[in-house]
């Protein structure tokens, strides 16, 4: 059964950068996004509270290419932590009971930033990034769907993310599009004993492969 969750999101980002003076830099990124999701799978359900936050610590180096028109290439890496919470509860349109789910990713970002002057007042900054999944943890609160079911925790070790953004800066303000994509493969399989009406069973569960696409427009202010 295919499952789809879609949601318009409103997010807030904060980025702090420290330049060491010798072209090395360190950066901290924090992002929080929230929206109201629609579930389509075993029936449908709307107005589901849906949120995530993404914390990243990065470091990199600025390579200046003044002889080639004056631009900067800044490769970077670091560590990232992403937590997503799907607060789905109650019955869907088919009568199936929904349950809350959370996803945690620890990942290794590897990327490069291209910065260039458009003119004396305006700049363009473009970022390409690959995110290597170190470990994912999926928690499914199945006990909310049926009292005889246990909550399940699955581990995910195969997957990756891709990010692209391009910001046009004028004065302290900048604006531009961004796209984030995640591709996560099947998790491990866990088995738990359950009892239904006095009969014992063994429940085997895994988190299936999934894809996530987020696209939008960012507006930023630098201070």
Tens digit of each residue's pLDDT (9 = 90 or more) over 12-69: 999 999 999 899 999 999 999 999 999 998 889 999 999 999 999 999 999 999 876 7
**pLDDT cut 90: percent of the chain above it:** 83
Residues linked to residue 186 through DSSP beta bridges, in sequence order = none
Q: How far is CA 26 from the centre of its chain?
A: 21
* Paired tokens of 167: 């910001």
The secondary structure of residue 150, as a DSSP letter, is P
What's the confidence (pLDDT) of residue 95?
86
Domain residue limits at 165: 4-221
Cβ-contact 105, 136 below 8 angstroms: yes
* Tens digit of each residue's pLDDT, the chain (223 residues): 678 999 999 999 999 999 998 999 999 999 999 999 999 988 899 999 999 999 999 999 999 998 767 899 999 999 999 999 999 988 899 888 899 999 999 999 999 999 999 888 899 999 999 999 999 999 999 999 988 999 999 999 999 999 999 999 998 899 999 999 999 999 999 999 999 988 999 999 999 999 999 999 999 998 8
What's the confidence (pLDDT) of residue 171?
85
Query: Under 8 Å CB-to-CB from 48, ≥6 apart: which residues?
Result: 5, 7, 36, 37, 38, 39, 86, 87, 88
Q: In the chain, how many H helices and how many E strands? A: 0, 16
Q: What is the DSSP string of 60-89?
A: EEPEEEGGGTSEEEEEEEEEEEEEEEE---
E strand or H helix at 179, and its extent? strand 173-184
- Which CATH number covers residue 200? 2.40.128.100
When divided into structural domains, the chain yields a total of: 1
Cβ-contact 153, 137 below 8 angstroms: yes
Cβ-contact 59, 74 below 8 angstroms: no
Q: What are phi and psi of 143, to 5 degrees?
A: -65, -20
Nearest to 33 by CA among 17, 16, 59, 55: 55
Based on its alpha-carbon atoms, the radius of gyration of the chain, rounded to whole angstroms, reads 21
Q: What are phi and psi of 67, to 5 degrees?
A: -80, -10
Tokens 């088995």 correspond to: 191
């Amino acid at each position: 059964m295919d499952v789809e969750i879609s949601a318009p999101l409103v997010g807030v980002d904060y980025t702090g950068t420290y330049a060491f003076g010798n072209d090395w830099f360190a950066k901290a990124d924090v992002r929080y996004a929230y929206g109201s999701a629609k579930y389509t799978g075993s029936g449908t359900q709307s107005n589901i509270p849906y949120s995530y936050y993404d914390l990243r610590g990065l470091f990199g180096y600025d390579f200046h290419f003044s002889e080639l028109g004056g631009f900067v290439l800044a490769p970077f890496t670091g560590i990232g932590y992403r937590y997503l919470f799907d607060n789905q509860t109650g019955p869907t349109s088919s009568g199936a009971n929904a349950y809350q789910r959370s996803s945690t990713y620890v990942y290794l970002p590897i990327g490069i930033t291209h910065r260039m002057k458009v003119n004396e007042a305006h700049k363009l900054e473009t970022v390409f990034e690959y995110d290597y999944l170190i470990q994912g943890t999926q928690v499914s609160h199945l006990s909310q769907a049926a009292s005889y079911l246990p909550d399940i925790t699955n581990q995910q070790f195969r997957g990756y993310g891709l990010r692209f953004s391009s910001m046009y800066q004028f004065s302290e303000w900048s604006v531009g599009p961004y796209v984030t994509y995640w591709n996560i493969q099947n998790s491990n399989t866990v088995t738990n004993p359950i009892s239904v009406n006095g009969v014992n069973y063994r429940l085997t569960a895994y988190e299936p492969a999934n894809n996530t696409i987020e696209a939008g427009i960012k507006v930023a202010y630098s201070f």
